[in-house]
Structure 1
Amino acid sequence: MKNSEIKALTESEINERILAEQENLTKLRFAHAISPIENPNRIRQSRKLITRLKTFLTQKQMAKQD
C-alpha cells in the first residue's frame, strides 16, 4: 500500500486496515512457526505496513487537534 493511498483513507478506514493487517501478521507468524513460509520477508513487510498506518493515523489525529 502506497503512502498516497494511506493519506486518502479516513481515520476509521485506517483503523480497519490496522486490525486486518494485525490479523494477517498473526496468521503469517503462526504459519511460519509451523513450517517455514516461502517468503519470510512478508512478515517484515506486514509489520512495516502496520507501523506506517499507525503513523498516518497519529498524524491525522494530531492535525484534527490543532
Structure 2
Amino acid sequence: MKAADLKTMTEDQLTDELAKLKKEQFNLRFQGATGQVENTSRIRQVRRDIARIKTIAGQKSAAK
C-alpha cells in the first residue's frame, strides 16, 4: 500500500484498513509459529503497512 493512496482515505477508512491488517498480522504470526507460513516477506510488509497507516492517521488527527 502506498502512502499517497492512504492520504486520500478518510479516517474511518484508515481505521477499517488498520483492523484488517492487524487481523492479517495475527494470522501470519500464528502460521509462523506453527510453521505454515508460505510468504515470510508478507509479515514484514504488513507490519510496515500498519506503521504507515498509524503515521498518516496521526498526521490527519493533528491537522484538525
Question: Is TM-score (shorter-chain normalized) higher than 0.5?
Answer: yes
Task: Specify the SS of the correspondent of 2:42.
Answer: helix
Give the structure with higher Rg (CA): 1
Partner residue of 1:33?
33
TM-score (norm 1): 0.90
Partner residue of 1:23?
23
Q: 1:1-66 alignment to 2 at 5 Å? A: 1-64=1-64
Name the count of aligned residue pairs. Answer: 64
State percent identity of aligned pairs.
Answer: 38
What is the Cα-based RMSD across aligned positions, in Å?
0.9
Give every structure 1 segment of 4 or more consecutive aligned residues whose post-TM-superposition deviation is greater than 6 Å. Answer: none
Please, which runs of 5 or more residues in structure 2 have no aligned partner? Answer: none
